[in-house]
Chains A and B, each alone.
Chain A
Amino acid sequence: MKEFLSFLSIMIIPILISVILIYGIYKKTPCYEVFVDGAKEGLFVAIKILPYLIAIIVSISMFRASGAIEILSNLLAKPLNYFNIPTETLPIMITRSMSGSATLGILSDVVSSTGVDSYASKLGAVIVGSSETTFYVLAVYFGAIGIKKIRFALLAGLMADIFGIMAAIIVCKYFFT
């Protein structure tokens, strides 16, 4: 089962690319031109997040270099170890619902400080990849239609986020240990 799913993990991108391209050609879409046009957006995405990355990576790195993270980790080590959760991933869990760019910054910091193939990096990647910035989504969508009384929308979103983090911990434990 695990082997099959790992195989699927590797195959999903080639399959998706083939489906998109074959359908594009079948529908006589000018694939090359459209591709180039879309790729331009990718350039702007990367540039747009650079200032956020600098702010987050620099402040977190300073925080770590000062020894403050060690102190914090030592305090939290026991409960986190009990569930097999690397302490480095804690900041990701805390910021995930609040700021997408901050979370990406923290993830890149975890990747560069623990190594890209570490368990912490993989768990962090799954947590970040499987959820959305709840507060941002709420602000954009309800802002656009002038909703002030949000009722249970935020509660439902945050409960789903917490559920997602717990699911990520369980799923990663199964796949990566």
Chain B
Amino acid sequence: MNYVFVFLILISIITAFFTGRIEEVTNELLNSAQRAVQVSIGLIGIMAFWLGLAKIAQKSGLINLISKLISPILKLIFNELPKNSPAFSNIALNITANALGLSNAATPFGIKAMKDIKKEENKNDVATNSMCIFLAMNTAGFQIVPATVLAILIAAGAKNPTEIIIPTFIVTLSSFIFAIIIAKILAKIWKEN
């Protein structure tokens, strides 16, 4: 990101020199800095509301309940882990919290799950199949309500911001499933080290 940032600004100034748009570029610099602040302020309302609501789901035990419901599926996916491993409940909590857009709450569960898997499967610095599968599931970023993105659209005054929810859900669910399948396939063909 470091190089990208410097490169973008320097290239802009050089290009502006050739296209004769030095003045536009300078004006844009001032305007866009202000716009960035507006975007960020606009995010506060909806983000705060969503995280407040999600906290209720967490404290009331709703997240725990959903976790229990999905853990049978997890036992199929992580068939290399012992059936009674504590990793399962942490994996389930991680996925449920992520699904509700609570990535701050999800991360500690995810780390705990990784530690549990490590305890079951190895003590060194090589990733096991279960670790890689769990990581791939997390990188797919499955969530029901994309709160931050919605906040950006709402802040910008979209006519119907919620119309992206179902398309986003379809995409995130399919890439989540794809991540699991591809990780399972790679686990079969990849050598241990």
Contacts and interface: CB of A to CB of B under 8 A. Distances in A.
A144 B156 CA distance: 37
Interface in B81-132: 104, 107, 110-111, 114-115, 118, 125-127, 131-132
Q: What band does the interface of chain A fall in when counting residues whose beta carbon is under 8 Å from B?
A: 35 or more
A66 interface: yes
A109 to B, nearest CB: 8
B141 A132 contact: yes
Given A20-B56, A131-B172, A149-B193, A140 B141 contact: no
- Judged by DSSP, the binding face of A is helix
A31 B29 CA distance: 44
Contacts of B153: 111, 116, 121, 125
B168 A125 contact: yes
Nearest to B62: A23
B140 A164 contact: yes
A65 to B, nearest CB: 4
B12 A66 contact: yes
Nearest to B110: A141
Majority secondary structure of chain B interface residues (helix, strand, loop or mixed): helix
A125 B161 CA distance: 10
B39 A57 contact: yes
Contact of A38 (B46, B56, B158): B56
A23 B65 CA distance: 11
B74 interface: no
Nearest to B98: A132
A16 interface: yes
Nearest to B156: A116
A174 to B, nearest CB: 8
Interface in A77-105: 97-99, 102, 104-105
A144 B107 CA distance: 11
Nearest to B148: A104
Interface string B59-79: 111100100000000000000
A59 interface: yes
A172 B13 CA distance: 35
A138 to B, nearest CB: 6
A62 B1 contact: no
A171 B78 CA distance: 30
B153 to A, nearest CB: 6
A142 B28 contact: no
Nearest to B157: A116
16 contacts: A9-B163, A42-B51, A62-B29, A65-B24, A108-B36, A112-B35, A128-B148, A129-B149, A130-B168, A145-B111, A145-B114, A147-B126, A152-B187, A155-B186, A156-B179, A159-B178
Q: 6 closest pairs, A vs B, by CB?
A: A38-B55, A132-B141, A129-B146, A42-B48, A157-B139, A61-B32
